[in-house]
Amino acid sequence: MKFRELEKNCRKSTEGFAEHMTLAILGDCATQHLAKAIRGYAYTKEIAMDIFDADYDQMEAQILDPGSELYEKQPDAVLLWFCTEKLYAAFCKCTDRSRFAEEMMEKYKRYYALLEQRLGGRILQFNFTEQDDRVFGNYANKTAESFLYQLRKLNLMLMEEAQLQKNLFVIDLAYLQNQYGMEKIKDAKMYYLAKMPLSTHILPQVAAEVLSVLEAIRGRIKKCVVVDLDQTLWGGVIGDDGMEHIQIGELGQGQAFSDFQNWLKELRKRGILLAVCSKNEEDTAKEPFLKHPEMVLRLEDIALFVANWENKADNIRYIQKTLNIGMDSMVFLDDNPFERNLVRSLIPEITVPELPEDPSQYVSYLQSLNLFETASYSGADKDRTRMYREEMDRKDLQKQYGDYEEYLKDLEMKAQAKPFDPFHYARIAQLSQRSNQFNLRTIRYTEQEVEHLAKSKDHLTMYVTLQDKFGDYGLISVVVLDKMPSDTLFISEWLMSCRVLKRGVEEFIMDQIVELARKNGFQTVTAEYLPTAKNAMVSELYERMGMNKEGEGRYRVSVSEYQAHKTCICQEGELQ
Amino acid sequence: MSREEILEKLNEIFQDMFDDEDLEITEETVADDVEGWDSLMHISLIEEVEDAFDIRFTMVEVNGMQNVGEMVSIIAERM
């Protein structure tokens, strides 16, 4: 996309767009073109983006003055842009150069603290495009007094700080510089003439990165990759060539396919589910995953394996239903343009990248799309595939039972409900960003906000973990309760992973909520359902749970009248 | 490329950038004549024109251009 088109989008009406965002841009350079690019790019995603764009010499005042327009606007997120040119100017004036990066970081940290305290929203910050003054030549890598050394150190310190400050997200301009080159991203005269550190040619890519991060924070992320096999995961056709002759590893162009599989495996470890969708006999298709010594992906890496002769759109719908995730969180990879077009036309929500013809370009092309942006990561992500596979085993067991209740009893479910604790902040924040369907008020929490809730005296919190005889689901539900006047406890958020639906877990949690209310001396529990495009499944949850409807989406139940449910879940441990 | 050809190509760029199919620029056209041609737009315009003709203006040229004609002259010189 070209900057010119984004600029034009800014003049188009965003009326009717369901999504709205407000973003403040604060830079020590000119940011108007960037603001246009972001607004224009948001338009292509059907997001109405309201941008507060401060003058570049106003940056400090906006952050420091508690009465500034910035704080009046209360944007959802703030984008900070400290440019390399200004950094260099500050470096030249600095006397203790070996400590320059630390000094800058101290300044940023003061800003983060003020923004956190007065806004509480997300902070996005560009890292620094790399530039060296060549005053030391290559020796710059050998002395802490060089600009290059301090700049690279500062970029690393930003990454370290972003791990501590959960509300801070770094946007990687240095990566874009690497991809596109200095020639494309900068024009020195534009900095002198207009204080523009980046050329308009690169702004569409910059805007795309900003939007990716903002969308990931909002929970718009990819969760699953559906892959074809022949000519996609390996060279050749398994049904014709036989397992010995498919190209993978050392054979033919096999290395390109191995690298592609390796990349998919890395995604799997990050928590992306892999599913196979192939026109093949199932046994033939599975054979390489079981027996080929050079296959990188093995059967246990695949959450769901579908090989038959049905049309791929139907198979993908089956995969989506079985994994129980949104179609817009899925990516379909197939070397065959016919299949891609078929899927694209029958399922418009799914992302179907236009894979290059040359398999050696698969990985670099897919990486350039940055499809897998995320706003959270926890160590448990690598287990997600295993959990889904265990789920398949459960479904198999379920088929053997005539009576669902009997089946549930046989699962030997055990659950624990506990107040938020530091070990689970990351996972709680992540679940709040990922859950769209079973989510009563769709509030997205960052880790920082989770920590705040955990420590707050005005709230009670609860997370629930579940296991059964097939395995451990881990943390599957989050509840946040607000203490209200007149002994009332308000369920300000309740969300749950859809993987555990219809097992009595909702009933179990509702019981826990009321029990928690009772123990803490509350008389009444109230709740609210806020509809979104995706959470219709819980529109009648509170009624089903035994609460009384009081008005549109509002519910109430008195603790003394509440009837606890009968479930097949054994409770472990005590509530707070 | 003749001055006329350059002007014609510029006209296409202007029409697209200012979203106005009826826009007809001449060598005498100045920023005030075109709705939306402010200092921000000037920067985008310069980069678009540089791209389209595969040339680079100097800093002084960007600052000193008084009308479209001067832009045409600089482009003609470079081609």
**B48 close to A (CB below 8 A):** yes
Regarding the domain with residue range A224-368, which homologous superfamily does it belong to in the CATH classification? Answer: HAD superfamily/HAD-like (3.40.50.1000)
**Can you read off the two tokens belonging to residue A44?**
């292509």
* pLDDT value at A400 more than 80: no
State CA A202 to chain mean position distance. 24
* A130-140 pLDDT, tens digit each: 999 999 999 99
Q: What is the CATH number of the domain that holds B21?
A: 1.10.1200.10
CA nearest A322: which of A384, A391, A268? A391
The H or E element spanning position A547 is none
Check whether domain A3-217 has CATH 3.40.50.1110, yes or no: yes
A569 φψ region: left (φ > 0), alpha (ψ -120 to 50), beta (else): beta
Give residue A403's pLDDT. 74
- pLDDT score at A575: 60
Chain B interface disruption, residue of A183, A184, A187, A203, most B CBs within 10 A: A187
Query: What mean pLDDT, rounded, does chain A reach?
Result: 92
ipTM score assigned to the predicted complex: 0.91
Q: In what order do the strands lie in the sheet with A168-171?
A: A47-53, A19-27, A77-81, A122-126, A168-171
**Phi, psi dihedral angles at A56 (to 5 degrees):** -70, -30
Query: How many Cβ atoms are within 10 Å of A483's Cβ, its own excluded?
Result: 16
Residue A403 and residue A384: Cα distance in Å, rounded?
A: 29
What are the chain A neighbours of B39 within 8 Å (beta carbons)? Answer: 194
Q: How far apart are CA A510 and CA A481, in angstroms?
A: 12
Strands (E), A47-129: 47-53, 77-81, 122-126
Model confidence pLDDT, tens digit, residues B25-55: 999 999 999 988 998 899 999 999 999 999 9
Average confidence (pLDDT) over A440-445: 92
Give pLDDT, residue A381. 80
Are the beta carbons of A426 and A451 closer than 8 angstroms? no
Number of structural domains in chain B: 1
* d(CA A204, nearest CA chain B) in Å: 13
Q: How many inter-chain contacts (A to B, CB under 8 Å) are there?
A: 38
Distance in angstroms between the alpha carbons of the first and the last residue of chain A: 54
Question: What pLDDT digit, counting tens, does each position of A268-292 carry?
Answer: 999 999 999 999 999 999 999 999 9
- Residue B22, domain extent: 3-78
Residues of chain A with CATH 3.40.50.1110: 3-217
Percent of chain A with pLDDT over 70: 99
Query: Is the pLDDT reported for residue A576 higher than 70?
Result: no
pLDDT of A478 higher than 60: yes
Q: How many helices (H) and strands (E) does chain B have?
A: 4, 0
Does pLDDT of A402 surpass 70?
no
E strands, A28-135, in order: 47-53, 77-81, 122-126
B51 with A201: Cβ contact below 8 A: yes
Measured between alpha carbons, how far is A340 from A311 in angstroms, rounded to an integer? 11
The alpha carbon of A520 is separated from its chain's Cα centroid by a whole number of angstroms, namely 35
Instruction: Give mean pLDDT, residues A321-336.
Output: 94
- Residue B14 forms contact with A (CB below 8 Å): no
The model's confidence at residue A473, banded by pLDDT at 50, 70 and 90, is: confident
Quick check: A192 and B40 CB within 8 A?
A: no
Mean pLDDT for the stretch of residues A351-371: 96
The length of chain B, given as a count of residues: 79
- pLDDT > 90? residue A319: yes
Q: What is the pLDDT of residue A572?
A: 82
Which pLDDT does position B39 carry in this prediction? 87
Residues A138-163 have a mean pLDDT of 97
Q: How confident is the model over A231-260, as a mean pLDDT?
A: 91
Q: Could you report the per-residue pLDDT of A41-72, keeping only the tens digit for each?
A: 999 999 999 999 998 878 999 999 999 999 99
Q: Is the pLDDT of residue A355 over 60?
A: yes
> Cβ contact (<8 Å) for A200 and B40?
no
Residue A1 has what pLDDT?
86
Q: What percent of chain B has pLDDT over 90?
A: 77
Per-chain mean pLDDT for chain B: 92
**Rounded to whole angstroms, what are the CA distances from A449 to A219, A335, A432?**
16, 43, 11
Give the distance from residue B4's alpha carbon to the nearest chain A alpha carbon, in angstroms: 24
Looking at residue A499, its pLDDT comes to 78
Give me the pLDDT at residue A567, please.
Answer: 87
In this structure, CATH architecture of domain A406-571: 3-Layer(aba) Sandwich (3.40)
B39–A4 C-beta distance less than 8 A: no
How high is the pLDDT of residue A253? 87
Nearest to A27 by CA among A95, A114, A128: A128
At residue A243, does pLDDT exceed 80?
A: yes
Q: What residues have CB less than 8 Å from A495, skipping those under 6 apart?
A: A431, A432, A435, A438, A439, A440, A442, A477, A478
Strands (E), A347-458: 413-418
Tell if the CB–CB gap between A200 and B17 is shorter than 8 Å.
no
Whether residue A77 has pLDDT greater than 90: yes
Per-residue confidence at A150, pLDDT binned at 50, 70, 90? very high
Q: Residue A315, class by beta-carbon neighbours within 10 Å (0-12 exposed, 13-18 middle, 19+ buried)? A: buried
Contact status, residue A521 vs residue A487, Cβ threshold 8 Å: yes
Q: What share of chain B is helix, strand, coil (3-state, %, to 5)?
A: 65, 0, 35
Q: Quick one: which of A108, A77, A104 has its CA closest to A93?
A: A104
Does B55 touch chain A if contact means CB atoms closer than 8 Å? Answer: no
The answer, for B51 touching chain A at a CB cutoff of 8 Å, is: yes
Side chain identity, residue A456: S
